[in-house]
Amino acid sequence: MAVLLAIELLDELVGGSRAAAWPLIRHDLHLSYAEIGLVLAIPGFFGSALDPLIGLAGDTPRRRALIFLGGLAFAVSAALSAVAVGFWTLLVALLIGNPASGAFVSLAQATLMDREPAERKRNMARWTIAGSVGYVAGPVLIAGAVAVGLGWRGVLLALAVATVPVAFAARGTPAPAPAAGHEPGRRALLDALRNREVLRWLFVLEAVDLLGDVLHGFVALYFVDVAHAGAVEAAFAVAIWTGAALVGDVLLLVVLRRMNGWTYLRASACVVLIAYPIFLAVPSPAAKLVVLALLGLLNAGWYALPKAALYESMPGRSGTAIAVAGIGGLVAAGIPAALGFAAQSVGLQTTMWLLLAAPVALLVAGRSPKRSRGA
């Protein structure tokens, strides 16, 4: 479990560092909002297109080899990002990194879900805690590196080096066998896509990500361009949001012992419906930071519980669950580009209101899974 959680930690360290460094990356590489949107969206399309193949292959004895090779490719992507000189070189680096993350990180998560099926929700909460640590530490690394003169490039290069030993360690991680009688392939994937429960959780996962990774990708830019903060202050804003999310993820383990997780999710969505408009409306950067911390705290469980429900809807087929999630990601991969073009056209402040769709979707579709009712 330590190796699997280390993989998620590294993934979010890279992602968290890059999100906090976007103002610096934009300046150094002379990127527009539209180019940033494309850099986020095109690799997403590419990786999501390959995720079904990676996921289905993950339900075979090749899973450990895929995790190892994905880890090496992930390290190469981080290193290439560190030496990018413009839009195209950064795009190539992320085109390598997105499918690499599918093999390295997603299959590690699938392996964790296979280890103890009865503990899926709590193990997903632990997985999310590891990711939140990376979310918090990434911006801190950027702020520290800028302060001492290493810059964002030095952080990404160091993380590339750190990934290699973890990839080698993952070769010894046992991959549980798929369910008896299950034959991974196109038929299994089509059967899953005809399952209403599967489709429901795919919709919820992609919708709530608007106030997850999508917001995470725009927070630093929002504080620089709308709240008129500096690059270091913007990185601090990302750290505030992710730090609060880490606290929320730790508290989620306590919540799951004391109350129904689905009741908690719907209650938190109601509060976010009020808090997020306040975040956008208040003019003071300090006030925005306070509300942003609350949003990070309330975001706990918005990924872990729906993702655990997706695995629960396909017991013994974790690789196929990854494949299905890849198709959902392919459909949603255009969202960052659409938001980037919208920000270019009507401004970032107006565009950020669209993210309010996340709590609405959670309230509409995030009810308890059928097999978990009454739990």
Quote the CA–CA distance of 91 and 42 in Å, as a whole number.
Answer: 8
What's the distance, Cα to Cα, between the start and end of the chain in Å?
A: 26
Using CB atoms within 10 Å of the CB of residue 373, give its burial: 0 to 12 exposed, 13 to 18 middle, 19+ buried.
exposed
**Inter-axis angle of helices 231-258 and 285-298, nearest 10:** 30
Quote the CA–CA distance of 209 and 202 in Å, as a whole number.
Answer: 11
Quote the CA–CA distance of 218 and 32 in Å, as a whole number.
Answer: 13
Q: Which of 1-5, 14-18, 168-172, 356-360 has the highest mean pLDDT?
A: 356-360
Structural tokens at position 208 = 């709530």
Structural tokens at position 250 = 């730790």
Alpha helices per DSSP H over 149-230: 151-170, 186-193, 196-208, 213-225
Q: Among 30-34, 105-109, 186-190, 321-325, which stretch is predicted with the lowest mean pLDDT? A: 186-190
Q: Among 26-30, 86-90, 116-120, 302-306, which stretch is predicted with the lowest mean pLDDT? A: 116-120
Structural tokens at position 67 = 């995790």
Task: Look at residue 162 in the predicted model and tell me its pLDDT.
Answer: 93
Task: Look at residue 373 in the predicted model and tell me its pLDDT.
Answer: 38
Q: Tell me the pLDDT band of 168, cut-offs 50, 70 and 90.
A: very high
Q: Which one-letter amino acid corresponds to residue 197?
A: E
Structural tokens at position 85 = 């000189």
Q: Tell me the pLDDT band of 159, cut-offs 50, 70 and 90.
A: very high
Q: Tell me the pLDDT band of 375, cut-offs 50, 70 and 90.
A: very low
DSSP codes, 264-300 = HHHHHHHHHHHHHHHHHH---HHHHHHHHHHHHHHTT
Is this model's pTM higher than 0.85 or not? Answer: no
Question: Which has more confidence, 203 or 238?
Answer: 203
Q: Residue 347: how many CB atoms within 10 A of its CB?
A: 13
Q: How many Å separate Cα 206 from the centre of its chain?
A: 10
For residues 320-344, one letter each, b for 16 or more C-beta atoms within 10 angstroms of the residue's C-beta and e for the rest, the string is bbbbbbbbbbbebbebbbebbbbbb
In the three-class reduction of DSSP (H, G, I as helix; E, B as strand; rest coil), residue 31 is classed as coil
What digits encode the pLDDT tens for the residues 54-83? 878 777 778 888 899 999 999 999 999 999
What digits encode the pLDDT tens for the residues 277-327? 999 999 888 899 999 999 999 988 888 888 888 888 877 777 788 888 877
Quote the CA–CA distance of 128 and 11 in Å, as a whole number.
Answer: 12
Q: Tell me the pLDDT band of 369, cut-offs 50, 70 and 90.
A: low
Task: Look at residue 370 in the predicted model and tell me its pLDDT.
Answer: 57
Structural tokens at position 283 = 């003019």
What digits encode the pLDDT tens for the residues 40-56? 878 877 877 787 888 78
The CATH code of domain 2-174+182-372 reads 1.20.1250.20
In the predicted model, what is the mean pLDDT of the chain?
84
Q: Average pLDDT, stretch 157-162?
A: 94
Task: Look at residue 183 in the predicted model and tell me its pLDDT.
Answer: 59
Element (H, E) at 8: helix 2-29
